[in-house]
Amino acid sequence: MTKTTIRSIVLTLAFVMFAMADEIPDQTPITPSDAEKSFRVLATNKTSTLDKELNEAAAEGYVFEAVMGGQTLAGDEVVVVMSKFSDSKANRMRYALLATNKTSTMKKELAAMGSLGFVYRGQSVADTTFGGQQVLVIMERDTTDSAAQYDYQLLATKRTSTMQKELNELADSGFEVKGLTVAKTAFGGNELVTILSRRHKPAQGD
């Protein structure tokens, strides 16, 4: 094969590859919203303040991302991170903050929120002016899903063996674990506090 022939073949292949390049679609995913995401951090030790700030941020299109209670430079605080995309629809989500150190109170409040369509979003424990060390639960309701209702269960125990048994019993009824905290509360000292939920299914005839 002569040098002229080889050169001709190379040029021909180059031409074919160049022509095909115009027909191959770009495989790189386009996610312009990734660069338009913004965050807001809420930090306070008051129930009423955090509840208000959660819903004020939601009115601007922010949604809940994470929560943690603990020591910051300002002392004992509950810190919440919220985020939004530039095209987020404002005023879609509603939030409710539950804060207590009593099993009966938390169970009652969870049941009430579930009947209103609120879903579990996160929980933590913190020493705050709420009234000592309490379990905090953040609930979220999508106003575009007015038919949704949820059932909740709260387990509080000191023994992992007891927790495992109770979790398996609830799993048979369709419940899923949503969150777990370990803390010294009025639930009974240092306890494992687990919250479970399932989508409510109305009984026949309801």
pLDDT of the residue at 33: 47
Pairwise CA distance, residues 34 & 48, whole Å? 32
pLDDT of the residue at 27: 46
pLDDT of the residue at 14: 52
Q: Dihedrals φ, ψ of 86, to 5°?
A: -60, -25
Q: Please return the burial class of 98, using the count of CB atoms within 10 Å of its CB with bins 0-12, 13-18 and 19+.
A: buried
Using one digit for the tens of pLDDT, what is the confidence trace for 3-13? Answer: 555 555 545 55
Q: In 3-state terms, what secondary structure has residue 28?
A: coil
Residue 146 lies in a domain: yes
Residue 17 lies in a domain: no
The total number of structural domains in the chain stands at: 1
Residue 7 lies in a domain: no
Residue 28 lies in a domain: no
Residue, of 205 and 189, whose pLDDT is higher: 189
% of the chain with per-residue pLDDT over 90: 45
CB within 8 Å of 87: residues ≥ 6 apart: 33, 36
CB within 8 Å of 65: residues ≥ 6 apart: 39, 80, 81, 82, 83
Residue, of 127 and 57, whose pLDDT is higher: 57
The rounded radius of gyration (Å) of the Cα atoms in the chain is 26
Residue 1 lies in a domain: no
Residue 153 lies in a domain: yes
Lowest mean pLDDT among 68-82, 163-177, 185-199: 185-199
Q: How many CB atoms lie within 10 A of CB 151?
A: 17
pLDDT tier at 145, thresholds 50, 70, 90: confident
Residue 25 lies in a domain: no
Residue 139 lies in a domain: yes
CB within 8 Å of 139: residues ≥ 6 apart: 95, 96, 97, 98, 113, 118, 119, 120, 121
Using one digit for the tens of pLDDT, what is the confidence trace for 25-52? Answer: 444 444 544 548 899 999 988 888 999 9
- What domain range is 53 assigned to? 34-84+91-199
Using one digit for the tens of pLDDT, what is the confidence trace for 68-102? Answer: 988 788 778 899 999 998 777 677 899 999 988 88
